Amino acid sequence: MKVELLLPDTAPEAARSPSDDAGFGKALDALGNVLARATGAEDAYAGGDGSLQDAIYARARADIAVSVAAAVAQRAAQAVQTLLNLQI
């Protein structure tokens, strides 16, 4: 008797790469770097070495990065709260 495996009609799933455990730390480091660059650009303008345009642009990028990080944190907190409210 010869046994043949049945193959599903769906496409095979692509190989997944192992998850990066340091992803959250890297995201916080990147946010810190954006904020540090904005502060540096503002300090350079205040010291007479930089332009107002560079300072404003760097601060706007930092503000957007903080807004995105806050929105992501809020969504994650809502997801955790939803999971905690499930009745098992």
pLDDT at position 2, please? 79
pLDDT of residue 15 exceeding 80: no
Q: Say what angle helices 52-85 and 23-46 make with each other, to 10 degrees.
A: 150
Q: Over the stretch 27-49, which tens digit does the pLDDT of each residue have?
A: 889 999 999 999 999 999 999 99
| Helix-, strand-, coil-residue percentages of the chain, each rounded to 5 | 65, 0, 35
Helix (H) or strand (E) holding 82: helix 52-85
State whether residue 68 is helix, strand or coil.
helix
Average pLDDT across the chain, whole number: 86
Neighbours of 62 (CB within 10 A): 20
**Average pLDDT of the segment spanning 8-28:** 71
